[in-house]
């Protein structure tokens, strides 16, 4: 396949200073600002039980989580539209689609086998190879496709999509390392990201999970510190027992299987030649 056959003459990124990474979805400065703003909104959407001042109306609003669940899809849509505003070329779309399918197929395995979160595993490796922009979009599409296939669209979906998108984007932002160091870095990141994702999602449904009357519940309008302590107790009591072994297992899986999978992903990215400048000239150069 020759690089000159790629259709949209939009990719403006020249061959980058990081030749080992493909930039299949380039993050322009404008998109970076949009991502940062969306992250700020996301932090508020996840953390409002701890951030809200007791004096504000929202701290006492029962529907607050549902309102955030309606707000986040718009924010996600705007950011995804902004990331794809320059057009994503067919190779990146196809790669995104296929990896989304693999991730969505892996997801049900995670609920069957306690302590195994295969989605992050793929997301971290793909984000590492294809960069933060691709990682962000892949995280969102994987969870979305998985919800569509299992009929699991609900108020939790925007939170899951944003959380997974952060995990994928973060993997793309990790410092440059090769060999054993890279594997250790990715394994450590996968473990930390998986744990953080679990805690963040806990936080997003904590006001829902228990009624308002137990010692672990979110109490609207209480001082932040008291709510934080109750939340930590809640996490400790409910999910940390699952989250910790899961994080350890994901890290171990990255260590054991990361090398061949990274190689496969890199080879495909090289063959797709995302960074090759697209020119429409008369002469056809040998393939990329």
What part of residues 38-57 is at the interface with other proteins (CB under 8 A)?
A: 38, 40-41, 44-45, 48, 51-57
- Least distance from C-beta 98 to other proteins, angstroms? 4
Looking at beta carbons only, is 89 or 243 nearer to other proteins? 89
What is d(CA 102, CA 88) in angstroms, rounded to the nearest whole number? 20
Q: Which stretch binds other proteins (CB under 8 A): 78-86, 158-166, 176-184, 194-202?
A: 78-86
Spatial neighbors of 55 by CB under 8 A, at least 6 apart, are: 221
Is 108 near other proteins (CB under 8 A)? no
Looking at beta carbons only, is 175 or 281 nearer to other proteins? 281
What is d(CA 231, CA 225) in angstroms, rounded to the nearest whole number? 10
Interaction with other proteins in 235-264: which residues (CB under 8 A)?
A: 256-257, 260-261, 264
| Six token digits for residue 4 | 């000159």
Looking at beta carbons only, is 191 or 273 nearer to other proteins? 273
* Contact pick of 100, 160, 204, 250 for other proteins (by CB under 8 A): 100
- Provide the phi-psi class of 131: left if phi over 0, else alpha when psi is between -120 and 50, else beta: left
- Least distance from C-beta 29 to other proteins, angstroms? 11
Is 99 near other proteins (CB under 8 A)? yes
Residue in the block written with tokens 């030749």: 19
Interaction with other proteins in 207-236: which residues (CB under 8 A)?
A: 208-216, 226, 229-230, 233
What is d(CA 267, CA 269) in angstroms, rounded to the nearest whole number? 5
* Contact pick of 18, 98, 176, 180 for other proteins (by CB under 8 A): 98
* Contact pick of 5, 12, 13, 111 for other proteins (by CB under 8 A): 5
**Quick one: how far is CA 262 from the chain centroid?**
18
- Least distance from C-beta 15 to other proteins, angstroms? 19
Interaction with other proteins in 130-169: which residues (CB under 8 A)?
A: 137, 140-142, 144-145, 148-155
Spatial neighbors of 20 by CB under 8 A, at least 6 apart, are: 176, 178, 266
DSSP code per residue over 31-93: HHHHHHHHHHHHHHHHHHHHHS-TTSSGGG-TTHHHHHHHHHHHHHHHHHHHHTTT---HHHH
* Contact pick of 176, 180, 271, 285 for other proteins (by CB under 8 A): 271
Looking at beta carbons only, is 113 or 177 nearer to other proteins? 113
Is 34 near other proteins (CB under 8 A)? yes
Q: Say how many C-beta atoms besides its own lie within 10 A of residue 111's C-beta.
A: 10
């Amino acid at each position: 396949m020759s690089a000159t056959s790629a259709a949209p003459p939009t990719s403006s990124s020249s061959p980058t200073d990081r030749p080992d990474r493909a930039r299949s979805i380039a993050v322009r400065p404008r998109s970076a600002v949009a991502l940062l703003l969306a992250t700020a909104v996301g932090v508020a959407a996840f953390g409002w039980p701890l951030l809200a001042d007791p004096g504000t109306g929202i701290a006492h609003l029962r529907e607050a989580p549902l309102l955030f669940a309606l707000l986040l899809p718009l924010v996600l849509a705007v950011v995804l539209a902004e990331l794809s505003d320059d057009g994503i070329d067919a190779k990146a779309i196809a790669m995104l689609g296929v990896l989304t399918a693999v991730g969505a197929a892996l997801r049900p395995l995670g609920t069957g086998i306690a302590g195994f979160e295969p989605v992050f595993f793929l997301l971290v490796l793909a984000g590492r190879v294809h960069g933060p922009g691709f990682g962000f979009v892949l995280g969102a599409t994987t969870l979305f496709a998985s919800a569509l296939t299992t009929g699991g669209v609900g108020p939790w979906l925007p939170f899951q999509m944003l959380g997974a998108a952060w995990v994928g984007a973060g993997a793309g932002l990790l410092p440059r390392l090769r060999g054993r160091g890279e594997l250790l870095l990715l394994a450590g990141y996968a473990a930390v990201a998986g744990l953080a994702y679990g805690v963040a999602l806990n936080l997003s449904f904590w006001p829902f999970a228990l009624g308002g009357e137990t010692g672990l519940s979110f109490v609207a309008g209480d001082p932040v510190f008291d709510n934080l302590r109750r939340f930590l107790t809640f996490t400790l009591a409910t999910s940390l027992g699952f989250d910790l072994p899961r994080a350890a297992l994901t890290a171990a899986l990255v260590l054991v299987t990361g090398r061949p999978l990274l190689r496969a992903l890199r080879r495909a990215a090289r063959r797709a030649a995302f960074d090759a400048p697209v020119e429409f000239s008369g002469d056809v150069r040998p393939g990329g």
